[in-house]
A and B are shown apart, each in its own frame.
Chain A
Amino acid sequence: MSAFTYLDHAATTPMRREAVDAMLPYLSEQFANPSGSHRFAREARKAVDDAREVVAGVIGCDPGDVVFTSGGTEGDNTAVLGTVARRGGVAVCPAAEHHAVLAPVEQLHGVEVPVGPTGAVDAATLADVLRSTPDVSVVSVMAVNNEVGSITDLAAVAAVVRECAPAAVLHTDAVQAPCWLDLRSITPLVDMLSLSAHKFGGPKGVGVLVVKPSVRYAPMLIGGGQERERRSGTHNVAGIVALAEALRLTDAERSTEVPRLAGLRDQLVDALCASLPGVHETVPRSHKVAGSAHLCIEDIENEALLFLLDEAGVCASAASACAAGAMEPSHVLAAMGVDRRLGLGALRLTLGRTTTEADVQRGVDAVVASVRRLRKATA
């Protein structure tokens, strides 16, 4: 990996060494099923429950509210589909949500709320929709947008939901939040919250769904009754242990990492805007998380740009990829009202724990050289 400049931390983060070390014993000698009744099982159970306490501490909830899942999609799906399956009613979400929320809401013929120019939903718009939609049972609003990095004012969203749809469950997809925001400031505002370990230095395939005690939903997975019958299936012990360790360290380092990475991000974006004409910052930095740079570059097709960046050893991204792996025009940019042509030149560069100043310099050099080359060829 040393030959690569990894600027795609919003897609996934490199696993932390400490998290790898934490999980290894549970992939080898400590292999017991935590639901068993022998001492060996009890040790595994203790590891899961220790992890649960660590996670609850960082999230700011009761350990009993922590449900371990397979990741962000499961949490998002469960919150939307599970709530409506149990209570009926209408699911509501902003139009710029991750597909893990949008797809279930669409499947349930729910309501999509327009978003503002930053990609975040505006509380007044949400209030209008909630007032005009009878029987709203679940509202799902992301904490941080995965594509453009905008932060939602969840306090305002929560106030609106409690006032206009007091019976509704408020879920937040906080998958992109842990590296940048103190979850303790978010958790008290919502009824459910989803996380995914691989976005903060943990392994893929494990996540958390926070479920407040008042919330009732129909579990997606039923069977053995694990996680207080909220999520059946044998625990991913190694993954859960690693998730907790990664989350603990992320939380401990946040106050130093956020200013460091905000500085590097500013350096990156300022250099690109200064070196290349026709580069637009999609969302003002004051509305975004520290590690996110999202640009729309005029007269560029990002498929071509990503190819050249890849050749230059720079890992970047554009929008989300479709099932076939092709770049798709971004639904987030469309919802924000970004011109479709300009959106074809969307480039997402996301920084994280391992990002250095040298990475930023290599990223700038590669983007500038690639954009100039493409523009020259098509001029």
Chain B
Amino acid sequence: MKVLMALSGGVDSSVAAAELLRDGHEVVGITMRLWGGASDTGCCSIADVDDARRVAQQLGIDHLVFNFTDDFDRHVVEPYVQAHRDGITPNPCIECNRHLKFHRLSERADLLGFDAVATGHHARIVEHDGVWRIARGEDVAKDQSYVVHMLPQRELARTMFPIGHLTKAEVRERAAALGLRTAAKPDSQDVCFITSTGGRTEFLGTRIPFRRATVVDAIDGAVLGEAESLEMITLGQRRGIGLPGGGPKRYVVDIDHATATVKVGDDSMLDVTEMSVINMVWSHDAVEGAVLVQCSAHGATYAATVSLAANGSVQVQWQQPQRRIAPGQSVVFYDPTDTFVLGGGIAG
């Protein structure tokens, strides 16, 4: 097949390209230029593009850079800023996968006559009776099925994860054996457009006005203090909410965005028995009944029962009470054997 391989400049995509070549595919490497601003988190930098180019040279494949900065701004950065303004905690990396890696890039690949798009994610795509599924990667600790959960059938049919059957250690071994310069490169961390020096505060502070928040006791409503920026506060947060140290541990258990009020209380107050999930994308057909639910990139899964609501959202009934998930976070459903993705959406 003629495959467009997304080379990030990291070790996983480097080895993925090599795997594709070994399997006899015709491969063109491509690096997406997504964020045009400052970055120091080891993602999407010019040095990464250099690494991607060098790996492509070492493997003997063509390499191009596509400039998707406009799309990235529109689909990832602007919604990220807007979400914070609205009191929602978004996951920009998932939105990047959804809109850039598996939509914009697929579209471009189609246009240019490629049969498939490949990435270096630790996940697998399996087909059974004509139905495509995303399965967890071989390396459970590095599994990334959560961040690619949004692929529907038509995308799964033309997407490849060539290193899903390898552990991270095996990936590094193969990179070293091939003499690829990315063999020992650390994994990228954090959000590419948030610098480690300035953090979220600096990034958002230049884009939206921060509102002061009144911090109150969740039970009796007594005013306990004031936090500097409502938009920076997330459900379940304990530090940085303007409360003096000492005393019982108090967590953010509710945020009333309209009145700029943050309610704090005991962590048990975060426990819920159900949640609603919106913007659902099912891998194949919609599912009801027993599932396993994962609510963060490398988080644990918890048993629940799901049912479909009339408006297309999904109602999750936890088997055991769980901590409330901040609105905006991605919620992914797996089959009861914890093998493959059923679908996922956004915590409402």
A positions within 8 Å CB-CB of B: 303-304, 307-308, 321-328, 374, 377-378
Given A303-B66, A303-B67, A307-B64, are A325 and B112 neighbors across the interface (CB < 8 Å)?
Answer: no
Closest chain A CB from B88 CB (angstroms): 30
Please state if A307 and B65 are interface contacts (CB–CB under 8 Å): no
Please state if A322 and B67 are interface contacts (CB–CB under 8 Å): yes
Please state if B112 and A326 are interface contacts (CB–CB under 8 Å): no
Interface size class of B (residues with CB under 8 A): 10 to 19
The yes or no answer to B46 lying at the interface (CB within 8 A) is yes
Please state if A324 and B112 are interface contacts (CB–CB under 8 Å): no
| Closest partner residue, chain B, to A325 (CB atom) | B65
Please state if A324 and B111 are interface contacts (CB–CB under 8 Å): no
Q: Which residues of B contact A321 (CB under 8 A)?
A: 65
A-B contact pairs, 14 of them (CB 8 A): A304-B108, A304-B112, A308-B112, A322-B33, A323-B46, A324-B49, A324-B65, A325-B49, A325-B53, A326-B33, A326-B67, A327-B67, A328-B67, A377-B111
The yes or no answer to B228 lying at the interface (CB within 8 A) is no
New A-B contacts (18) at CB < 8 Å, excluding given A303-B108, A308-B112: A303-B67, A304-B108, A304-B111, A304-B112, A321-B65, A324-B49, A324-B65, A325-B49, A325-B64, A326-B33, A326-B49, A326-B65, A326-B66, A326-B67, A326-B69, A327-B65, A374-B111, A378-B111
The yes or no answer to B110 lying at the interface (CB within 8 A) is yes
CA A327 – CA B53 in complex, angstroms?
15
Q: Which residues of A contact B31 (CB under 8 A)?
A: 324
Report which residue of B53, B65, B67, B69 has the largest number of chain A beta carbons within 10 angstroms of its beta carbon: B67
Report which residue of B33, B66, B69, B112 has the largest number of chain A beta carbons within 10 angstroms of its beta carbon: B112
Q: Which residues of B contact A325 (CB under 8 A)?
A: 49, 53, 64-65
CA A322 – CA B36 in complex, angstroms?
10
CA A219 – CA B207 in complex, angstroms?
42
Q: Which residues of B contact A378 (CB under 8 A)?
A: 111
Report which residue of A304, A325, A374 has the largest number of chain B beta carbons within 10 angstroms of its beta carbon: A325
Closest chain A CB from B55 CB (angstroms): 14
CA A307 – CA B63 in complex, angstroms?
11
| Closest partner residue, chain A, to B47 (CB atom) | A324
CA A322 – CA B32 in complex, angstroms?
13
CA A303 – CA B69 in complex, angstroms?
13
CA A304 – CA B104 in complex, angstroms?
12
Of the candidates A307, A323, A327, which one forms a contact with B112 in the assembled complex, judged by CB atoms under 8 Å apart?
A307
CA A304 – CA B64 in complex, angstroms?
11
Interface residues of B in 18-72 (CB under 8 A from A): 31, 33, 46, 49, 53, 64-67, 69
Q: Which residues of B contact A323 (CB under 8 A)?
A: 46
Closest chain A CB from B85 CB (angstroms): 26
Q: Which residues of B contact A304 (CB under 8 A)?
A: 108, 111-112
Closest 8 CB pairs of A and B: A326-B67, A326-B33, A326-B65, A324-B49, A325-B65, A324-B46, A377-B111, A323-B46
| Closest partner residue, chain A, to B32 (CB atom) | A326
Q: Which residues of A contact B65 (CB under 8 A)?
A: 321, 324-327
| Closest partner residue, chain B, to A321 (CB atom) | B65
Closest chain A CB from B219 CB (angstroms): 53
Q: Which residues of A contact B67 (CB under 8 A)?
A: 303, 322, 326-328
Q: Which residues of A contact B110 (CB under 8 A)?
A: 377
CA A326 – CA B71 in complex, angstroms?
14
Closest chain A CB from B31 CB (angstroms): 8
Q: Which residues of A contact B53 (CB under 8 A)?
A: 325
CA A327 – CA B67 in complex, angstroms?
6
Contact flags B102-136 to A (C-beta < 8 A → 1, else 0): 00000010111000000000000000000000000
Q: Which residues of B contact A328 (CB under 8 A)?
A: 67
| Closest partner residue, chain A, to B36 (CB atom) | A322
CA A68 – CA B31 in complex, angstroms?
38
Closest chain B CB from A310 CB (angstroms): 8
Q: Which residues of A contact B64 (CB under 8 A)?
A: 303, 307, 325
Closest chain B CB from A72 CB (angstroms): 22
CA A162 – CA B219 in complex, angstroms?
78
Interface residues of B in 167-214 (CB under 8 A from A): none
CA A60 – CA B65 in complex, angstroms?
42
Q: Which residues of A contact B112 (CB under 8 A)?
A: 304, 307-308
Q: Which residues of B contact A303 (CB under 8 A)?
A: 64, 66-67, 108
CA A321 – CA B65 in complex, angstroms?
10
CA A328 – CA B65 in complex, angstroms?
11
Please state if A324 and B66 are interface contacts (CB–CB under 8 Å): no
CA A378 – CA B108 in complex, angstroms?
10
Q: Which residues of B contact A322 (CB under 8 A)?
A: 33, 67
Closest chain B CB from A369 CB (angstroms): 12
| Closest partner residue, chain B, to A378 (CB atom) | B111
CA A303 – CA B4 in complex, angstroms?
14
Q: Which residues of B contact A377 (CB under 8 A)?
A: 110-111
CA A307 – CA B111 in complex, angstroms?
10
CA A307 – CA B4 in complex, angstroms?
12
| Closest partner residue, chain B, to A376 (CB atom) | B111
Q: Which residues of A contact B46 (CB under 8 A)?
A: 323-324
Q: Which residues of B contact A307 (CB under 8 A)?
A: 64, 112
CA A104 – CA B31 in complex, angstroms?
29
| Closest partner residue, chain A, to B44 (CB atom) | A324
Closest chain A CB from B100 CB (angstroms): 13
